[in-house]
Amino acid sequence: MALSLTILGSNSALPTSDRYPTAQILRVSERFFLIDCGEGTQMQLRRNKVNFNKISQIFLSHLHGDHIFGLMGLISTFGLLGRRNALHIHAHEDLKGLLEPHLNYFCTDLPYNIEFHDLTYDEPTIIYEDKKVTVESFPLSHRVPTCGFLFKEKPKQANIRKEAIKKYDLKVREIVAIKAGETFIGEDGNPVPPEELVIPAPKPLSYAFCSDTRYYRRVIPIIKGVDILYHEATFAHELKDLAKRTSHTTAKQAATIARDAEVGQLLLGHFSSRYKDLTPLLKEAKAVFDNAILVRDNEMYVLE
């Protein structure tokens, strides 16, 4: 399983009996990233059997309550479970000042460190990187400073063909060089075609998260060609004026972004509580971009 996304919450500001506020767990290259942390996130993590200790990076798109009200409880629970590894929180610079009074009152003896990483909101920025994954923030357009996030696997090396090792009596240093893309010269002095030596590496996978934002076409070149795009679809298009006033997006507008960015799949979420039946939102999105689906709490979406 190279990339999987579990929806912990799919609703907007007001939770419903079956839709929690925004939170997601993205698993990519065996890393677990928590994206936003609405109220009830830790309950949803339990329900989906996510190992709390595997979460080391939290990315918060903006400081509205429906995206962060679950954070303080989660921090406390981490401490009660005896966490030792540092917790890294990527968020607006104001978050640290907002949390510190609560931490000083309720969590004076946390057994782990919290490291705050301030986001910027003027241009795309790499905010996390290791040997397998990069995470990039990029500006969205909402009522407060807001970021989207782009998660990308780094390219993998090709796998050497076992029959090629035997046929060409390849040494370790030659295998390493071939996997790195170097040309191998056979005994006849001619280069051996790469397809005879290696099995091509799988295509690196990518995921983009866009919530909350008005219809904002500046994201298109940033998310171009991603495998999965999650985009808020708070309203049906008949409420496009309300969407504009509140800096949100309609399902039709989200689908237009997906189509023009040539993404692989569109996941629609962040639904207004006014919608008990979400079918009209899906219908209008699919009229523009057919590979669109409505996310549901506690469902997992997998790319391999």
Q: Which residues are catalytic?
A: 66
Contacts of 49-53 with CB under 8 Å at 24 or more apart are 50/6, 50/25, 52/77, 52/78, 52/81, 52/83, 53/81, 53/83, 53/85
Cα separation, 68 vs 23, whole angstroms? 9
Q: How far is CA 194 from CA 163, 164, 201, in A?
A: 13, 10, 12
Tokens representing residue 148 in the block: 């989207």
CB atoms within 10 A of CB 18: 11
Tokens representing residue 271 in the block: 């639904």
Q: Which DSSP string do the residues of 111-140 spell out, in sequence order?
A: SS-EEEEE---SS-EEEEE-SSEEEEEEE-
Which of 1, 98, 116 has its CA nearest to residue 58? Answer: 116
- Which residues are paired to 232 by β-bridges? 269
Cα separation, 169 vs 61, whole angstroms? 53
